[in-house]
Structure 1
Amino acid sequence: MVWGGNDGAVDRWVKQLEEDDPKLVSLHILSFRKITTTELGRIFQAIGTNTHLHDLYVSGHLLDASCIDHLSESLTLNDTLKTLNLGNSSFGENAHVFGLFCEGLAANEGLIKLDLENKGLLSNEENKYQVAHLLAKCLTKNNTLQELNLARNELDDTAIEILAPAMTRLLKINLSMNNIGEQGAHAIAKQLIENASSKVQELELSDNGLLAGASVLASALENNKSLRSLKLVDVVSTEMELSELPPAAMEEGDNKLDEDDDAKKTDETRTLHGNALARALGQALETNKTLSHLCLDNNGIESKALDELAQHLSTSAITELKLRRNRIDDDGALLLSKMNKLRHLELGENGIGAKGFGALLDTELHYLGLFGNAIGGFGADPSLLPELSNSQIKRLDIGCNRIIHQDLEAMVEVLLKNGVPGLSLLEMGGNVEDKEMEQWEVTMSRLLAERKMDIVWKRKPTDMDNSVPPPM
């Protein structure tokens, strides 16, 4: 793998490519490295007869007609290259340059993954949708491509109506962080979900203002037999997720972003669409037996909207469900605790308390994420924490949950009596206060002396990254 280089690096890469060096299987030229279009053209030309390079990453670099012409010709000859990421945010401005690339892509018989994230695909001032038409045309001709990333291109409903019919043979599609609305959602539902010839297995539509279109997508799943993973994070609002703005956008002492974000969380229109989405998914899962991974973070979904979803989860193929940052309380937790096929459940930053916590622990889940809820207080009532001898949980995240030492003691008693017998990782950071630190130290030492597991508990809430749940 090559990530950059000193002077003479381009000559060395070209030599390796031309001599078909079996050691050069991946070439990653960092965006901040200075490289001319002429040098890129030499690299692209050398790829034509190479049989060992699998991955080429030249994202962030300016491309012109000359170097792309070399790449296009190489793509018609080379069937070894598998992944390609190229161009900067102005790649889509020049339809002629992009068209040359599409000519090579249409004829290529080896590429599997194409990453065109943030390439300005609608930035052509003369004809806004010309590049979309060019890409759609070549996708219909290419028979090997399986994965396509079109995130962050400001794609709108019209662009999606152009592209969707050409993407049915793909297996994995990322359309997140665009400008897709209800009309675009209808096109996706018709072409990529309801269409019996669609092969799409993974679909990412997060951070688009689908609004009522989110429910249309969910309903389309009823007879779908190909989709395995669907990500619909923050799709019931047209506002940007304020928590993702850079800190520099906020003046010192200004809490406007926090106030606006809180308002977004409790917006009733948002919740109306979020609840409709959850109910539509519940109805679709009555017959859909293929979808296994479902992500619905940050959609204002309430517990009352989970009835139908919970009812059909047990007979569906869903093993992973993410509902982070919604409006789910103990009632919703109790519904979800009855779903015996779920193995990974993420409910961080909701409103779940001690009662819901106890119910969710006593399940066949392998991972339970409850970061940023309010489960503290179960130590005062032993009935809230059952013996849990049949719990299947292996990883548990209860960071930032107002857990005090009394709660910790109650949990340790259960664990020392072989409750949650398979637990290997316990994350509890952001709970202990300085005044209880010594007590926690003693109790944790007692637990670790008898139970072998990894425990993370000393971090303060301000030290924790609460934006991303733990990886699988």
Structure 2
Amino acid sequence: MVWGQVGTRGLDDLASRLAANDPKLQSLTILKQRRFGHDDVALLVRSMASNTHLTELYASSHPLTPAAAGLLGDMLAAPACPLRHLCAGDSSLGDEGVAALARGVGATKSLTSLDLAAKGLGPRGAAALAAALATAEPLTHLVLSSNPNLGDAGLAALCGAASTAAADAAEAGSAAAGADEGAGAGSSAPAPAAPVWAGLRRLELAGCGVTAAGVRALASSANAARLEELRLEGNALGPQGGEALAALLQAATALRSLHLRGTELGDEGGEQLAAALAGARAPSGEDQAGPSGGGGGRSLTHLDLADCRLGSKTMAALCSALESGAGSLQALVLAGNGAVGDADAAGLGAALAARQGPALQELDLSGTTVGSATLEALSSAPGLRQLGLVGCPLGPAGAAALASSLRSEGRWADLEGLSVSGTGLGMAEAGALLAALQEGSAPRLTSLEMGANPATQDDAFPGLLEGLRAARPGLAVYWRAGDDPAPVSR
């Protein structure tokens, strides 16, 4: 490798291995130091004609012309193409390049994952992808993140809402023209059917310029019911996003994972979303949401609301939803919501203790202002396995509450991972925590993160760990980079 020289080496050696059907070459990443122009792409495609082993191709650092993208599309369309994962092109690919690639995507018999993050994608490219998704049965995972020009129009085009809206507008125009010309002028043509995704279940749209209007378009599409995972991180949905997401939850009856980090919902938007969860009971519950028994987030197991500017209103609504046994929620991320206080999270702990549905297994409260009341309440939450408290101002009172609850019989019975990094623990607080664990508290705990605390800067801290390590060799304590290996059982 020659540093500073980009694209100086071709693909001849790799093409030879592909043409020879080398069974060891199953994943290929074409680095920036390689050329990947039109002729190189053509060589790669020819070498894949009889290949049965290459399942992953990554060439995301290289610009592709529409013609080169079309060659890759032709490769995907070949009945015997073994490729399952593809990421190629850079931000210059644009709508024309995506459209050229999409023609092959629609005919694929093998591709399960397509990564088009940061490819300069807009509404026209999204419309081409929508047509491809209607016939691409194997394709279950599509990444479109970091395409800020996609926007609401692009999302609407992707899920078919745009074509429906255009048809409605055309129909309205025809009706108006007919009225001007007099009755009996004839009926308008039927609206074209919106494309329905054949296989897509996971959709990533982080940083795509989507607003609440785009979420509403997705909710109104028949494709919403097909989604199992949706990532919307970094889109400014705003307070109006709460209502739009509530509608989406009602329509997306199979949705299991929803990521909303940094979507600026605010406390009002968060409250609306949480209220929608309150209408969804666990599958074993008696409450039904219509003939299908779905909707309202019934299937949701993972909800990420980090950095959404949430507060007391959202927390109260979440507490009500969880206490009523809402849905199947197992993981909840509330990190970075600094307005969430100790009383708010303590109410959440009480709701979890009283919950009738499946247990919440993972909870991240990092960056909130929780303290002793929260720890006392959460200590009795059944089934809680992972708890994140990074950066929470626990101080002496919070640390004392944690140590005390650890020593109480039956508390933290299912806890496997605990992070108290950056929580202000001094030597006294850290010593009390480690002593409680050394006595056998939280018997299932295998991972404890304690970095960035004053105690860990003290020369005496390693001595505190000696007794714990001797008593519980299966418990890894992470307090400085590379210090501890993974837990090892005897």
Unaligned runs of 5+ in 2: 1-5, 161-194, 283-288, 290-296, 354-358, 482-490
- For 1:280 and 1:217, locate their aligned partners in 2 and report how far apart those are by CA, in whole Å: 9
Correspondence 1:90 to 2:92 = yes
Find the partner of 1:320 among 323, 331, 348.
331
Q: 1:112–1:144: 8 Å Cα contact kept in structure 2?
A: yes
**Contact conserved, 2:213 with 2:244, CA < 8 A, in 1?**
no
Q: Is the 8 A contact 1:48 1:75 kept in 2?
A: no
Find the counterpart in structure 2 of residue 243 from structure 1.
none
How far apart, in 2, do the equivalents of 1:202 and 1:167 lie? 17
Task: Map Cα deviations across residues 41-61 of structure 1 (whole Å, 9 max, x no partner).
Answer: 110232233221111111121
Give the TM-score taking structure 1 as reference length: 0.79
Q: Which aligned pairs between 1:227-242 and structure 2 lie closer than 5 A? A: 227-236=255-264
For the 8 Å contact 2:87–2:115, the answer to whether it is kept is: yes
Cα distance, 1:439 vs structure 2: 4.7
* 3-state SS in 2 of match to 1:377: helix
1:186 is matched with 216
Which residue of 227, 237, 241 corresponds with 1:200? 227
Cα offsets for 1:210-257 (capped at 9, x unmatched):
1212332134324643111110111126xxxxxxxxxxxxxxxxxxxx
Find out whether 1:158 has 2:153 as its counterpart: yes
Equivalent pair of 1:347/1:370 in contact (CA under 8 Å):
yes
Q: Does 2:183 correspond to 1:172?
A: no
Query: Does the residue aligned with 2:328 lie in a helix, a strand or coil?
Result: coil
Q: Is the 8 A contact 2:249 2:276 kept in 1?
A: no
Rg larger in structure? 2
Instruction: Decide whether the 8 Å contact of 2:146 with 2:208 is kept in 1.
Output: yes
SS in 2 for 1:324: coil
| Alignment-mate amino acid for residue 389 of structure 1 | E
Residue of structure 2 in register with 1:275 after alignment:
271
| Structure-to-structure mapping, 1:292-311, within 5 angstroms | 292-311=301-320
Deviation at 1:381, TM superposition (A): 5.7
Report Cα offsets for 1:383-423 as digits up to 9, x if no partner: 98222432221111001111122222332343233221222
Partner of 2:466: 445
Provide the residue aligned with 2:488 in structure 1: none
Residue identity in the other structure for 2:267: T
Are the equivalent residues in 2 in contact too, given 1:59–1:88 (CA < 8 A)?
Answer: yes
Look up the match of 2:100: 100
Offset at residue 438 of structure 1 (A)? 4.3
Counterpart pick for 2:427 among 405, 410, 418: 405
Q: 1:234 to 1:215 in 2, by over 3 A?
A: farther
What's the TM-score, normalizing by structure 2? Answer: 0.77
Q: What secondary structure sits across from 2:106 in the alignment?
A: helix
Q: 2:442 corresponds to which residue?
A: 420
Indicate how the Cα distance of structure 1 residues 222 and 385 shifts in structure 2: closer, same or farther if over 3 A, else same: farther
- Deviation, 1:76, is 1.8
- Partners of 1:54 and 1:380 in 2: CA distance: 50
Alpha-carbon distance change, 449 to 178 in structure 1, aligned in 2, over 3 angstroms: same
What runs of 5+ residues in structure 1 fail to find an aligned partner? Answer: 123-128, 238-269, 460-472
Aligned-CA RMSD value: 2.7
- 1:147 aligned residue: 141
1:283 and 1:8, CA in 2 relative to 1: closer, same or farther beyond 3 A? same
In 1, distance between residues paired with 2:314 and 2:419?
25
Q: Pick one of 123, 127, 130 that aligns with 1:136.
A: 130
Q: CA 1:449 to 1:130, structure 2 compared with 1: closer, same or farther past 3 Å?
A: closer
Percent of counterpart pairs with the same letter?
28
- CA deviation string 1:156-208 (max 9, x = no partner): 11111111235644111001111001210101222267x5xx32111101110
Counterpart of 1:349 in structure 2 is 367
Spell out, residue by residue over 1:80-110, the C-alpha distance to the aligned partner (whole angstroms, 9 max, x if none).
11011111101015x2x44332221121111
Residue of structure 2 in register with 1:55 after alignment: 56
Preserved contact between residue 368 and residue 397 of structure 1 (Cα < 8 Å): yes
Distance 2:52 2:313 in 1: 57
Give the residue type in structure 2 aligned to 1:373: C
Give the C-alpha shift of residue 8 in structure 1: 6.9
